[in-house]
Chain A
């Protein structure tokens, strides 16, 4: 497939000069300002459409009953699939993962899966025999930089919006109810981690920008992705290569990241509440609900 055109030397110099001498970003944003983040839920449960400026991501969560892994009989299966198609940008190829794709899937894995955001033990139905396999498919529709933050937000939003079919166990017989028989139930969710990516510019990485777009991403000298939840619990910090950055600067980045994550968290809660209100059948259906209220932190 065709190679992506790199920015010309002039474009690079212009961007850097504007950043360092004039303290201005090309799109006029503040250094620690995100592009407008928008989230819409689909008609189905577990579909989140996220757009961060021109970056557009669709995440879809789905669940089915399978056999658990032999070495983990008490855990359900949780996978995040990120496959970049040529839709995101023509230089991505089908079935040939690029570096971007590998890094993205590993970061999401570390942030959402390994931080224990989803309670995988609650996905177990019959120990060693039956469990839920929850899968989130991340579809990048348009790539304009900062895929990590947008994808992470989309995954968390999709999983928190998702409802899996209700089940019951009677005399060793497992019944999976269809949505018509019983209201689907939400997943066991423990905390909501979000990614915040900083990009560094200049010879020693002295300028730090939040939410770099595609142009800025091509010019940056280093980047660091911090994943944390609203309580300030850091799940991971990934700084993969690039120029070294001072520890003090990193600490500062982390504290700004916390305020951003709190904003994300509130925004997501508001959107979920709004969607729940839209779907709320009220009255009798609310009375018939089988699940307990879960406090989501």
Chain B
């Protein structure tokens, strides 16, 4: 039962500085952020904060795959967090995967060492939401999406938010993230593709991630051309607006 539109709730965990729960396209991730907190000797950096990302799978112990995801997220999140403001401290982001899309036609194996690109947008989005809820200073917010190139009778087709079935048939898979200044923040690809295909993927992903930037006057206008891909930036904004409105309810 995959959710059609992304859903998120903020500050679900009372003990963390900030937290978020995000579910979209069959993935559900909970994130908590603590920071800036005291750093241990090995993580301490004299000029900037260390961003500590921990990814925990829903079943089994984390392995190389989780370390790889942590590395990708850590390097891109350190770009947007103002790490220079907090020397000698740690910003700790824990991402707990709760559920992943099911495939009724395959029995899942517990230990899979393979690359797992499709989960990155969910992890990334949850981390950004949790960082915002923890009020960690950032240069910009960011949105992320996954795009697959599926060959359809000789012609190549670009599918945003592919299903597990699409992913299996895809010739290449791309994860892109953009900051709120429309800058490319993260690009990870897997499979065979040409430069031209990648350009198409880039355009498509940018449309999903950066739509509202040009249409700030009317929220209703966003849903005009293709309803298939949700507008991530608008989603991020509306989630936080709801949160702020409920926080300032007492005024």
Contact = CB atoms under 8 A, between A and B. Distances in A.
Nearest to B16: A87
Contact of B104 (A47, A90, A176, A178): A178
B75 interface: no
A179 interface: yes
Interface stretch (B30-38, B118-126, B238-246): B30-38
A47 B100 CA distance: 12
A179 B104 contact: yes
Nearest to A137: B59
B96 A58 contact: yes
Interface stretch (B105-113, B148-156, B190-198, B199-207): B105-113
Contacts of A176: 107
B61 A86 contact: no
Interface centre among A85, A87, A88 (most CB of B within 10 A): A87
B102 interface: yes
Interface in A68-112: 81, 83, 85-90, 94
Interface residues of A, number: 33
Contacts of A32: none
A1 B107 contact: no
Contact of A62 (B16, B32, B106, B110): B110
A43 B101 CA distance: 10
B106 A178 contact: yes
A44 B59 CA distance: 13
Nearest to B110: A64
B143 interface: no
Given A137-B58, A137-B59, A142-B13, A47 B40 contact: no
Contacts of A178: 104-107
Contacts of B92: 86, 90
A139 B96 contact: yes
A244 interface: no
A16 to B, nearest CB: 23
A47 B99 contact: yes
Nearest to A42: B99
B105 A42 contact: no
A87 B107 CA distance: 30
Nearest to A63: B110
Contacts of B32: 86-87, 141
B215 interface: no
Contact of A43 (B1, B12, B56): B1
Given A83-B61, A87-B94, A44 B54 contact: no
Contacts of A89: 15
B119 to A, nearest CB: 16
Given A86-B34, A179-B104, A142 B15 contact: yes
B109 A81 contact: no
A143 B61 contact: no
A144 interface: yes
Interface of A: 1-2, 42-44, 47, 54, 56, 58, 60, 62, 64, 81, 83, 85-90, 94, 135, 137, 139, 141-144, 165, 176, 178-180
- A-B pairs with lowest CB-CB distance, top 4: A87-B94, A62-B59, A180-B104, A87-B32
Interface of B: 1, 12-16, 28, 30, 32, 34, 37-38, 40, 54, 56, 58-61, 92, 94, 96, 98-99, 102, 104-107, 109-110
Given A56-B12, A85-B54, 20 more contacts: A43-B1, A58-B30, A62-B59, A81-B61, A83-B56, A87-B16, A87-B32, A87-B94, A87-B96, A135-B110, A137-B58, A139-B56, A139-B96, A141-B30, A141-B32, A142-B16, A143-B15, A165-B107, A178-B106, A179-B102
12 contacts: A1-B37, A42-B28, A42-B98, A44-B102, A54-B15, A56-B12, A62-B110, A85-B96, A86-B34, A142-B14, A178-B107, A179-B107
